[in-house]
């Protein structure tokens, strides 16, 4: 795949950036915590005051972080041995008023550099083939990805290559695909600048990798829900509704090796009279995939349309907004959910399918929490009733009991009791006194059937009936990580 710069010029650019210390840590050290934080919110006042020395790092910060036009002599010194002429030919630089300005976004990202189109400017609509840089969605997916070492990994809809960078840390071979040739040129340049080599293929969704399987597939697809118009390739798939996510889910059996995992960000519609959980689970019906889909946000249609029109600097397009909202109304869409979908080709005759809200703050990185969830689910699915009853369990470290009570004439009356995880997935579960007694006794010393026998005696209940009632509760508490098998 062709890069923006010739190979020798990419080497020259890497040399210049490294020599100047134009890295995430180098910039943070130069600006200090407050100015760096302000710059991350597009307030460059402090950064501009600090970076007036004219040395290469200051010049690069002003050029690529603060969006300033800098004197050509200073830019030439900062980018040497890359010539300004070569940088201009590649589109890396453009002529500005009295000097040179950035023509692309060149962003230090961790230990890497990422190239993409410049972010949206007020009053200027994004081009149809605009290539996004590092953003909220890309960092969300990166943080949610399971980082187990794998042989082959696919970044479906790679854009500028953010996910492929992360995949390169734990996959022997990385493939990236995108509909946009422009995006692939940015991805190829990102790979080369960071000394990496990826297979990059052009085409729509799964077409470039038909008949191929991978150990891990990640995707930040153009998931925006709407009437199916494709005006911006980074957000619009051309499929109506949430069809692009359903399409990706349905392809999982032919896309994954045995034991392989698919993780993607998704939007789904909340349709009147339909549970969103049933909708998302339905995407995977008949695939045999283990599934954990977690809903992180919910937007109403008006807010959703305003968000995405503003994202592409189209917020004043009243006709487009009306068309979008009319489509939602005609199809009974009451809200739009956003979340993470993780599916795994676990080879189970009866796969686990769980769709649930997870809107609370979760201990980072989410990818570790996803891996732990599937490990617990595997442990549960591999055991029959007798094995679950004979196992020993313990409470997760730091588990808290919270009570809500109302004062009455007779004192405090407990209304609700809640178990809370202060770390990990941070679930809060309402429980009754029987479940509290069960959890209180799970210190890893007694098998579950002995605990249930004690509870049965205390409550004068048949042991078998109590075991039948408590096993689904145990399954739920272990799945969520409040109780752990010893």
- 286 φψ region: left (φ > 0), alpha (ψ -120 to 50), beta (else): left
User: Which residue has tokens 């004043």?
Assistant: 316
- How many angstroms separate the Cα of 230 from the Cα of each of 1, 237, 239, 297, 312? 25, 6, 8, 24, 12
**Would you say residue 125 lies in a domain?**
no
Q: Do 375 and 427 fall into the same domain?
A: no
364 lies in some domain = yes
Q: Please check the confidence at residue 55 and state whether its pLDDT lies above 90.
A: yes
351, 293 in Cβ contact below 8 A?
no
Largest CA distance in the chain: 88
Q: Are residues 220 and 276 in the same domain?
A: yes
- Binning pLDDT at 50, 70 and 90, where does residue 338 land? very high
| pLDDT value of residue 345 | 98
Same domain, 89 and 145: no
Range of the domain at 291: 136-381
DSSP code for 118: P
The pLDDT of residue 122: 72
**In the prediction, which pLDDT does 315 show?**
73
Kindly state whether residues 162 and 261 are assigned to the same domain: yes
Instruction: Establish if 1 belongs to a structural domain.
Output: no
d(CA 351, CA 346): 8
Take residue 20 and report the two structure tokens written for it: 């100047």
| Same domain? 165 vs 234 | yes
* Residue 466 resides in a domain: yes
How many helices (H) does the chain have, and how many strands (E)? 20, 18
User: pLDDT tens digits for 71-122?
Assistant: 999 999 999 999 999 999 999 999 999 999 999 999 999 999 999 999 987 7
Of 321, 349, 381, the last residue of a domain is 381
Retrieve residue 334's tokens. Answer: 């009451």
> What is the predicted pLDDT for the residue at 314?
81
d(CA 465, CA 455): 12
Tokens 């009437």: give the residue: 227
Distance CA 54, CA 406 (A): 66
Closest CA relative to residue 206, chosen from 157, 257, 259, 264: 157
Helix (H) or strand (E) run with residue 199 in it? strand 199-202
The reply to whether 303 and 373 lie within a common domain is: yes
CATH number of the domain encompassing residue 452: 3.90.930
pLDDT per position as a tens digit, 164-218: 999 999 999 999 999 999 999 999 999 999 999 999 999 999 999 999 999 999 9
Q: 404 with 344, same domain?
A: no
Does residue 296 lie in a domain region?
Answer: yes
Q: Quick one: tokens of 442?
A: 């799970």
Is residue 178 located within the same domain as residue 311? yes
- The CA-to-CA distance between both ends of the chain, in Å, stands at 51
Query: Does 117 reside within a domain?
Result: no
* SS3 of 235-274: CCCCCCECHHHHHHHHCHHHHEEEEEEEEEEEEEEEECCC
Question: Under the phi-then-psi rule, with left for phi > 0, alpha for psi from -120 to 50, and beta for the rest, what region is 34?
Answer: alpha
What is the average pLDDT across 361-374?
97
On the question of pLDDT at 323 being above 90, the answer is yes
pLDDT average, residue stretch 338-347: 97
Residues 147 and 206 in one domain: yes
Residue 216, helix vs strand vs coil: strand
345 and 454 co-located in one domain: no
In this predicted structure, what is the pLDDT of residue 120? 83
Rounded CA separation 287/246 (Å): 12
Are residues 452 and 412 part of one domain?
yes
**Which among 86, 61, 59, 90 has a CA at the least distance from the CA of 75?**
59
DSSP state, 65?
Answer: I
Tokens of 229: 């118009």
The dihedral region occupied by 107, where left means phi > 0, alpha psi between -120 and 50, and beta the remainder, is: beta
Q: Which CATH number is 376's domain given?
A: 3.40.50.150
Q: H helices within 121-171, ranges in order?
A: 136-144, 162-167
For the record, the structure tokens of 208 come out as: 């470039």
Instruction: Please tell me the total count of domains within the chain.
Output: 3
Same domain assignment for residues 206 and 323: yes
Q: Is 65 inside any structural domain?
A: yes
Taking a C-beta distance cutoff of 8 angstroms, is the pair 484, 394 a contact? Answer: yes
Q: Which burial class, exposed, middle or buried, applies to 211 when counting CB atoms under 10 A from its CB (0-12, 13-18, 19+)?
A: exposed
Asked whether the whole model's pTM tops 0.85, one would answer yes
| pLDDT tier at 312, thresholds 50, 70, 90 | confident
Q: How far apart (Å, rounded) are the C-alpha atoms in residues 275 and 190?
A: 41
CB 185 within 8 A of CB 115: no
Does the pLDDT of residue 124 top 90, yes or no?
Answer: no
Among residues of the chain, what percentage have pLDDT more than 70?
A: 100
Please report whether residue 115 resides in a domain: no
């Amino acid at each position: 795949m062709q890069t923006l710069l010739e190979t020798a010029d990419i080497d020259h650019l890497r040399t210049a950036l490294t020599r100047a210390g134009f890295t995430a840590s180098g910039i943070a050290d130069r600006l200090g915590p407050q100015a760096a934080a302000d710059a991350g919110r597009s307030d460059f006042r402090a950064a501009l005051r600090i970076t007036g020395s004219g040395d290469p790092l200051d010049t690069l910060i002003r050029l690529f972080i603060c969006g300033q036009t800098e004197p050509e002599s200073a830019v030439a010194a900062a980018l040497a041995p890359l010539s300004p002429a070569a940088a201009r030919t590649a589109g890396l630089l453009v002529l500005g008023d009295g000097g040179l300005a950035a023509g692309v976004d060149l962003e230090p990202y961790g230990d890497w550099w990422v190239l993409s189109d410049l972010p949206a400017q007020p009053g200027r609509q994004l081009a149809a083939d605009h290539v996004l840089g590092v953003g909220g969605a890309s960092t969300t997916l990166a943080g949610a990805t399971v980082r187990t070492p794998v042989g082959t990994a696919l970044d479906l809809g790679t854009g500028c290559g953010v996910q492929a960078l992360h995949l390169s840390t734990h996959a022997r071979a990385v493939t990236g695909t995108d509909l946009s040739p422009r995006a692939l040129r940015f991805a190829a340049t990102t790979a080369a600048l960071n000394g990496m080599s990826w297979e990059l293929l052009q085409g729509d969704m799964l077409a470039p990798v038909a008949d191929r399987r991978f150990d891990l597939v990640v995707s930040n697809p153009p998931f925006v829900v709407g009437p199916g118009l494709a005006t911006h390739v980074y957000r619009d798939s051309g499929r109506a509704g949430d069809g692009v996510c359903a399409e990706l889910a349905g392809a999982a059996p032919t896309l994954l090796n045995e034991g392989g995992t698919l993780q993607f960000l998704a939007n789904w519609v909340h349709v009147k009279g339909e549970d969103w959980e049933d909708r998302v689970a339905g995407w995977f019906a008949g695939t045999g995939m283990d599934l954990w889909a977690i809903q992180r946000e919910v937007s109403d249609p008006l807010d959703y349309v305003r968000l995405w029109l503003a994202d592409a600097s189209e917020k004043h397009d009243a006709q487009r907004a009306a068309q979008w909202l009319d489509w939602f109304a005609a199809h009974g869409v009451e809200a739009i959910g956003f979340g993470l979908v993780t599916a795994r080709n676990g080879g189970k005759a009866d796969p686990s399918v769980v769709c649930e809200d997870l809107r609370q703050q979760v201990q980072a990185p989410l990818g570790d929490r996803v891996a732990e969830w599937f490990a617990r689910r595997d442990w549960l699915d591999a055991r029959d009733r007798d094995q679950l009853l004979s196992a020993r369990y313990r409470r997760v470290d730091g588990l808290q009991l919270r009570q809500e009570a109302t004062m009455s004439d007779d004192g405090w009356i407990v209304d609700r009791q809640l178990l809370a995880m202060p770390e990990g997935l941070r679930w809060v579960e309402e429980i009754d006194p029987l479940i509290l007694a069960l959890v209180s006794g799970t210190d890893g010393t007694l098998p579950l059937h002995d605990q249930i026998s004690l509870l049965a005696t205390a409550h004068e209940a048949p042991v078998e009936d109590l075991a039948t009632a408590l096993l689904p509760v145990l399954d739920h508490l272990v799945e969520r990580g409040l109780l752990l098998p010893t």
